[in-house]
Amino acid sequence: MLMEALSRLRPYRRALSIIGHLALVTIAYFTAYALRFDFQVPAEQLRRFAETLPYLLVVRVAFFHRFGLFRGY
């Protein structure tokens, strides 16, 4: 039953891999902010996080694609 469910996801493997990667980058970026401010991130810094996150994600996907790092997933 599990294998059947996983086989249905096979056509979406690359998209799921990219989405998972972006989720992990977002979590890591937020954790870096939280650690920097001892888990009490000021509101101004949260706004800066939200403003810079899309740029970070686009750059990460662009570089991963450019250097073929998504090919093996």
Per-residue model confidence as pLDDT tens digits over 4-58? 887 887 888 888 888 999 999 999 999 999 999 999 999 999 999 999 999 999 9
pTM listed for this prediction: 0.82
Q: How many domains does the chain have?
A: 1
Please indicate, yes or no, if residue 71 is contained in any of the structural domains: no
Confidence of residue 68 (pLDDT cuts 50, 70, 90): confident
- Torsion angles phi and psi, residue 39, rounded to 5: 60, 25
Please indicate, yes or no, if residue 60 is contained in any of the structural domains: yes
Q: How far apart are CA 25 and CA 60, in angstroms?
A: 9
Please indicate, yes or no, if residue 26 is contained in any of the structural domains: yes
Structural domain that includes position 61: 12-66
Please indicate, yes or no, if residue 41 is contained in any of the structural domains: yes
Q: Determine contact, residues 64/32, Cβ cutoff 8 Å.
A: no
**Using the 8-state DSSP alphabet, how is residue 55 labeled?**
H
Among 21, 10, 23, CA closest to 65: 21
Q: How far apart are CA 52 and CA 59, in angstroms?
A: 11
